[in-house]
Structure 1
Amino acid sequence: MDHVSPDHPLRRAPIQQRSADRLARILDACAELLDETGYEHLSTRAVALRAGVPIGSVYRFFGNKRAMAIALAHRNLDQYAEGIADRLADLPATDWRPVVDAVLDEYLAMKRSVPGFALVDFGVPAPPAEGPASDPNNLVAGRLTELLGAHLGLTRDAALERAVLVAVEATDALIQLAFRNDPAGDADIVAETRAMMHAYLARVLD
């Protein structure tokens, strides 16, 4: 995962539903084109054409394609958190292992099905030099710490935050490996990733 600004990338937030729908179409088009052309060949003009909106509508929201990709990363992270919350609603708080499995399973589901996710999951390519607060793994770890803490009744302290961040960093690298040569994710590497998460997080969650 690459750097993503913690600040919202929109030039102007949509107020009316019509404007929100147009923004959603722009981000959907951006995601589709990322899969088809890659980030380097992505352009605001191509996105406008695919979304069926005037180029001015794209620039109303975004100053450039990077800002557009960052907004897509923000949307992906929100979708990820919402998907985890839905999964956790059906899980008891007495065992943390199924909870951790739900976190991994939701990421795998998005990796396999969400357009543009292979290039822009929670961050964008070619990042500028930014601080740790803008690193997407830090952002993901922060959201996960909140979700896990709330569901399992854990105190959010430095030890928990550090453990979740380390788990996110390690899992990120292993899932990249799993999907490197297998579009569905190498099942054996995914299984090893799950075992690693359980073994490592047991130090904090048991």
Structure 2
Amino acid sequence: MSLASDNPKVRRVPQQQRAAKRVDALLDAAGEVIAERGFDGATMTAIAERAGTSIGAVYQYFPNKDALVFALRTRYGNEMDAQWSALGEAARQWDVAELVERLFALLVDFMAARPAYLPLLSVSLNFRRDAAARNRLRGKFAELFQRHSPALSDDDAFRVAEVTLQVVKSLSPLYAAARPKERKALVDEYKTVVSSYLAARLD
């Protein structure tokens, strides 16, 4: 992860492995504290204590909580893109139903493994994914969809990929707001929507 390019608010770019590990530990600690206390309840002091470091060490890399959380959101975005890219590579032999199952399973597992992800969705940080990274991910799925439906033009395949991934991602805020017992039903509704859309577009 390049903190210089992903987060212009970071004060100091770690040049050594030890410093990079410290930044990773701070992001891990931030995720744990935010998952327990929420964004508003998470303080830089609590994050420093969870990371086993001084508050001064935290401020060496992050001038405030927003900058630290921006870096954590960037990490999550990079991890999700990497997992979905790997999924796109693995999905060459799957039918539409299997692809949809795997897409939503990946997202649900991702949210469960990173409990700070959902609380951070409602935090306004002017967070935007890098356009080139977004286009690379959509390009991988566009290629996948063209293998399922060779008649799709490049533009049509990219559009289908863009719509599909955007719909899948839109589950997250609804999932966060839903009661636990409603979440599975919500995921099933989304699976129906995406399956129907892809079946129509890839027929």
TM-score range, shorter chain: 0.7 to 0.9
Deviations 1:106-131 (A, max 9, x none): 111111221311112xx560345xxx
Relative to 1, partners in 2 of residues 1:12 and 1:147: Cα closer, same or farther, differing over 3 Å?
farther
Relative to 1, partners in 2 of residues 1:162 and 1:86: Cα closer, same or farther, differing over 3 Å?
closer
Match of 2:196 in 1: 199
Match of 1:148 in 2: 141
Moved more, 188-197 or 147-156: 147-156
Moved more, 7-16 or 19-28: 7-16
TM-score by length of 2: 0.75
Larger Rg: 2
Relative to 1, partners in 2 of residues 1:56 and 1:193: Cα closer, same or farther, differing over 3 Å?
same
Task: Give distance in 2, aligned partners of 1:45 and 1:110.
Answer: 27
Match of 1:70 in 2: 70
Task: Give distance in 2, aligned partners of 1:115 and 1:142.
Answer: 27
Runs of at least 5 residues in structure 2 that lack an aligned partner in the other structure: none
Instruction: Assess if the C-alpha contact under 8 Å between 1:141 and 1:161 holds in 2.
Output: no
Relative to 1, partners in 2 of residues 1:197 and 1:136: Cα closer, same or farther, differing over 3 Å?
farther
Match of 1:92 in 2: 92
TM-score by length of 1: 0.74
Residue of 182, 186, 196 corresponding to 2:179 = 182
Moved more, 77-86 or 188-197: 77-86
Task: Give distance in 1, aligned partners of 2:47 and 2:194.
Answer: 38
Moved more, 102-111 or 89-98: 89-98
Task: Give distance in 2, aligned partners of 1:194 and 1:140.
Answer: 25
Match of 2:82 in 1: 82
2:102 is matched by which residue type in structure 1? Answer: A
Shift of residue 28, structure 1, vs aligned partner: 0.6
Runs of at least 5 residues in structure 1 that lack an aligned partner in the other structure: 1-6, 129-133
Match of 2:57 in 1: 57
Shift of residue 64, structure 1, vs aligned partner: 1.2
- Which has the higher relative contact order, 1 or 2, with Cα contacts under 8 A spaced 6 or more apart? 1
Shift of residue 27, structure 1, vs aligned partner: 0.3
Match of 2:124 in 1: 126
Greater fraction of residues in helix: 2
Shift of residue 139, structure 1, vs aligned partner: 8.5
